[in-house]
Amino acid sequence: MKNRITVTVAGHDFTIVSEESEVYVRGIGAEVDRDIQAVMTEAHLSLSDAAVLAALNSADRARKAIDSADHLRLQVKTYLDETQKLKAELAESRRELSRVKKQV
pLDDT in tens, 78-87: 999 999 999 9
In angstroms, what CA-CA distances link 67 with 14, 54, 62, 72? 31, 20, 9, 9
pLDDT at position 104: 81
* Residue (of 16, 38, 36) closest to 26 by Cα position: 16
pLDDT at position 20: 96
One DSSP character per residue, 60-72 reads: HHHHHHHHHHHHH
Sequence letter at residue 98: S
Checking 2-6 for CB contacts under 8 A at 24+ apart, the result is: 5/29
pLDDT at position 43: 87
